[in-house]
Amino acid sequence: MSDMINFDLSLGQTAEDTAILTVTPLAASKIKELLAQKNIPDHALRVFVAGGGCSGLQYGMAFEPNIQETDTVVEATEGVRLVVDPTSLMYVQGASIDFIDSLVGGGFRIDNPNAVSSCGCGSSFRTKDHHADGDGGCSTCSH
């Protein structure tokens, strides 16, 4: 995984000990580009999980000006900060964020080792402890 950027926890632990999230160089570059375009260089990228989606849970990302006391802050050497709330942390621990630059279906993608299944759209997933109602189909993808 030499092409991955490991983030260190703000608690001083090494990324090898407690990898919260890894981000590819392309994804880190895109995050920095978006922060500059929006003229919000001091914001962090909040990565969160919410109920819903065709598989039961869905990923979300938003630029965050206010970091809560209970958030886990992940600092990158490139100056990119990620924040994750305690509940979402249970679902994204060890995940990898990438950016796919494509004419069809481009954008941020999360490769999550905690997901036992995910929808073809890439934004909805299910863990072994969370079961979705219904058949898990998605009207926005081929899954």
Domains parsed from the chain with CATH numbers:
5-127 (2.60.300.12)
Place of tokens 């970091």: 67
Q: How many CB atoms lie within 10 A of CB 51?
A: 9
Write the burial class of residue 33 (CB in 10 Å: 0-12 exposed, 13-18 middle, 19+ buried): exposed
State the pLDDT at residue 76: 67
**32-36, 47-51, 56-60, 67-71: which has the minimum mean pLDDT?**
56-60
**Tokens representing residue 51 in the block:** 């109920």
pLDDT grade for 143, boundaries at 50, 70 and 90: very low
Task: Give the amino acid at 24.
Answer: T
Q: Is the pLDDT of residue 85 over 90?
A: yes
β 95-100/21-23 pair status: parallel
The whole-number average pLDDT for the span 12-38 is 77
- Looking at residue 53, its pLDDT comes to 64
